[in-house]
Structure 1
């Protein structure tokens, strides 16, 4: 377990000092989910640079206190192309990642927190100077980044910015901010195009094919038309057999980082 979350990202106390927040270090997903579901939540502050209300919270648990990111539904700005309840897509993203055995989305649960119901996601202790554009330069990260890329293709991620790829201090790279995923209309926007044209390896191909039968857990969080669209994307990708390219140069988010 690390001692502190990254200082430059944490909200500050009223006297200007930094919060000290214990962060889970390489705990199992099952352990993390238990803590997130049952620990007492206390808000430490609002996270910077977030378009919706996003809070750093402390989860007090007798065996493993930790930090988490809390996104209440009542703090979401209305969007014309997504229904309210974006937090549900954060949970669906975790469930899809686990069903595929990729583990690229932090453990995420639904909780009734201080500002109402929303998602609570394990805080990823990372070097926040790193992001996709720096991580992709190291071949050691390509396995995780390919899985995140394939995940975004399946989930129809509309907002995979470079800063949404975090290299945890315990090793794996995680994708965060999945609220704009799973639309039934194709809306892909991502910075991850470096693998375009590469064939899927056997493990990726098998997992992608399995998504043509969406995991039962997803039906709690997504509409029937969104589940059908997910299955169609999985079938198309499995038949295509490789990472697509963005030939038109139009499927990038803004800002990029």
Structure 2
């Protein structure tokens, strides 16, 4: 099994989001160009135009959210924005710029598109060929912003000792142990009766995302919910099921479970703890309940106290399903 390809990292002082993009997301004229059909909630592909600048973006109206048994109705958009604010406070920039604003179907979350723009259809139909851009579309599986197949492996092609390359981040292997440069997640049963080991790259970008997910209490870190960006960046998307007061961490990034946190992560968590007592805490109070913001601070405190990545535990399933 080859070691994953290394991509240059973006450090804590790396370039942040373009302020012009954020202005366009927040104040631009929002035009729906299509609907991403493979999504559990309404996800609309849009363009935002402001000051002569046009940016591609995703618009998730609150009106298109499906009710969940364990989260209050109509709160997913706010949680997505809160996740972006926490990500920005870490300095890692792991979540694309995200704002809460009014749109063609009411208030919702608007997030900068990651990946190449989707071309408009020649016949004037939406970009995906759908004739339904209302928030009551045909939801299916969870969405991936770039419209490509989510990270996963084709178990029919995996031979003994071979690895399926899925962007050098996630893979299935029939080796009993992960090769150097990889971390084991879980043993999986394939449809043909064979078993395989799910592994992820021992990559600092993924490790930062694992720390952020522990802070956010992310209940749905699937393989299709992290996307490569320009310049070696890695982004996490779909943070609607975060910030619950109960432990709901469910992720594919368990490879560092129980290991000491990197020194960089400790420094970031210390700064984040201070930010939560200031302007960040005030902004989050507009998006989350007092109990949720208190639980967020407690998770940061526990991470600093233990100095280790969390481990799976309790009755809550630790691996999202489907994992991709």
TM range (shorter): 0.7 to 0.9
Partner of 1:187: 248
Task: Tell me which stretches of 4 or more aligned residues in structure 1 moved more than 3 Å.
Answer: 126-135, 137-141, 210-213, 247-250
Say if 2:115 is the partner of 1:125: yes
Within 2, Cα distance between the matches of 1:110 and 1:141? 34
Partner of 2:208: 147
Q: What residue ranges of structure 2 are gaps of 5+ in the alignment? A: 1-14, 117-145, 153-165, 171-180, 183-200
Q: TM-score, normalised by structure 1?
A: 0.82
Matches within 5 A, 1:1-257: 28-83=17-72, 84-125=74-115, 128=148, 131=151, 134-136=167-169, 142-213=203-274, 214=276, 215-216=280-281, 217-246=283-312, 250-257=317-324
**CA deviation string 1:116-175 (max 9, x = no partner):** 000000000167457386443678981211111101000000111111010113320000
- Residue 210 of structure 1 deviates from its aligned partner by 3.3
**CA deviation string 1:153-203 (max 9, x = no partner):** 000001111110101133200000000000111111111112223322222
- Residue 68 of structure 1 deviates from its aligned partner by 0.3
Contact 1:57 1:68 in 2 (8 A): yes
Residues 113-122 or 42-51, more deviating: 42-51
Within 2, Cα distance between the matches of 1:115 and 1:143? 39
Alignment CA distance shift 1:141-1:38 (3 Å) = farther
Within 1, Cα distance between the matches of 2:268 and 2:28? 33
SS in 1 for 2:80: helix
Within 1, Cα distance between the matches of 2:17 and 2:300? 28
Contact 2:226 2:236 in 1 (8 A): yes
Partner of 1:23: none
Q: TM-score, normalised by structure 2?
A: 0.66
> Would you tell me which structure has more helix in proportion to its own residues?
1
SS in 2 for 1:56: strand
Aligned length: 232
Within 2, Cα distance between the matches of 1:228 and 1:29? 31
User: Whose Rg is larger?
Assistant: 2
Q: What residue ranges of structure 1 are gaps of 5+ in the alignment? A: 1-25
- Residue 29 of structure 1 deviates from its aligned partner by 4.0
Within 1, Cα distance between the matches of 2:149 and 2:248? 28
Alignment CA distance shift 1:211-1:80 (3 Å) = same
Within 2, Cα distance between the matches of 1:209 and 1:135? 31
